[in-house]
Structure 1
Amino acid sequence: MAGFLIAIISGALMSLQGAFNTNVTKASSVWVTAMFVQLTALATCAIMWVIDGRPDIMKLFKVDNKVTLLGGVIGAFITFTVIKSISGLGIAKAEVTIVVAQIIVSYLLGLFGLFGSEKTTFSWIKLVSLLITVAGVCMFYFLGNPSTD
């Protein structure tokens, strides 16, 4: 139950961050905003690391798959792409699309057991669920918006 609640908070925070970052971009640029976001994230993580008792940082480099250390680089591009998608689509369409992409990629990562994720078995019901989700996004995009012609 705690994991479910934390996931809800995470989703809410991601939407808020996307809206905040898109607004900040109006006063600067996408990359300046992304840099500021990453720098404030670094400061926050440093503070939390101290509060957490300063666990050994060097253990970070003992990770088995070194490519997974690129999470911060990916984070910079996440910030960039979220800002660009919200400014191009609006917050609701962008966030719905982002979440569905996350679901699909997460399922594929699990299905193939990539990057240390727990390997899951293929399930037709999960595939059908993904297709229904994609259909829901299409409905969100194209239905319910009265024409202004």
Structure 2
Amino acid sequence: MKGSLFACLGGALITLQGVANTRISEDIGTWQAATITQLTGFIVALMLMMLVRDKQWKRFKRVKPLYLSAGSFAALIIFTNVTSIQSIGVTLTIAVVLIAQLGLTFLIDSNGWFGVVKQKMGLPQFIGIGMMIAGVLILSL
């Protein structure tokens, strides 16, 4: 239950961030919006880390260098979301983003990439993805 609540909150926050970034980019530019978002995100994460003080930071060297680059994706995520929202709107952008996420996670899970436990994918999963794609097509009409 806790995971689902956090997922709902995360989804709502991603949508709000996309809309806010689009409004910022209309005034000062997309890369400027990405810079402001990254900077404010860093400041908030740093403050929260300082408040928690769980000493996990000491294990930093155990993280593979490849995974340390994950934060750099955020700038590209912001750029692509802002550009998409400006072009096709918030609803369709989020719908397509969700399908792209689901498609990639489907591949990651079914192949066991990045060290995740391999998951068996069957007809119900394919039907679910198909229904989501059909939903996006209906939204785009």
The secondary structure found in structure 1 opposite 2:20 is helix
Contact 1:111 / 1:119 at 8 angstroms: preserved in 2? yes
Report the AA paired with residue 96 of structure 2.
T
Shift of 1:36: 0.7
The secondary structure found in structure 2 opposite 1:27 is helix
Q: Give the equivalent residue in structure 1 for 2:10.
A: 10
Contact 1:21 / 1:33 at 8 angstroms: preserved in 2? yes
Shift of 1:8: 0.7
Q: How does 1:43-122 map to 2 (within 5 A)?
A: 43-53=43-53, 55-63=55-63, 65-122=64-121
Measure, in 1, the Cα distance between the counterparts of 2:58 and 2:35: 25
Shift of 1:66: 2.5
Shift of 1:123: 1.2
Measure, in 2, the Cα distance between the counterparts of 1:126 and 1:54: 38
Is there any run of 5+ residues in structure 2 with no aligned partner, and where?
A: none
The secondary structure found in structure 2 opposite 1:119 is coil
Shift of 1:55: 2.2
Shift of 1:118: 2.5
Structure having the higher Rg: 1
Q: How does 1:119-130 map to 2 (within 5 A)?
A: 119-130=118-129
Comparing 115-124 and 68-77, the one that deviates more: 115-124
Runs of 4 or more consecutive aligned structure 1 residues displaced over 3 Å after TM superposition? none
Q: How many residues align?
A: 141
The secondary structure found in structure 2 opposite 1:26 is helix
Q: Judging by fraction of residues, say which structure has more helix.
A: 2
Deviations 1:66-102 (A, max 9, x none): 3121111111111111111101111111111111111
Measure, in 1, the Cα distance between the counterparts of 2:13 and 2:115: 25
Measure, in 1, the Cα distance between the counterparts of 2:114 and 2:35: 26
The secondary structure found in structure 1 opposite 2:95 is helix
Measure, in 2, the Cα distance between the counterparts of 1:56 and 1:120: 29
Shift of 1:113: 1.3
Q: Give the equivalent residue in structure 1 for 2:37.
A: 37
Measure, in 1, the Cα distance between the counterparts of 2:84 and 2:61: 33
Q: Give the equivalent residue in structure 2 for 1:147.
A: none
For the aligned residue pairs, the C-alpha RMSD in angstroms reads: 1.3
Identity percentage over the alignment? 26
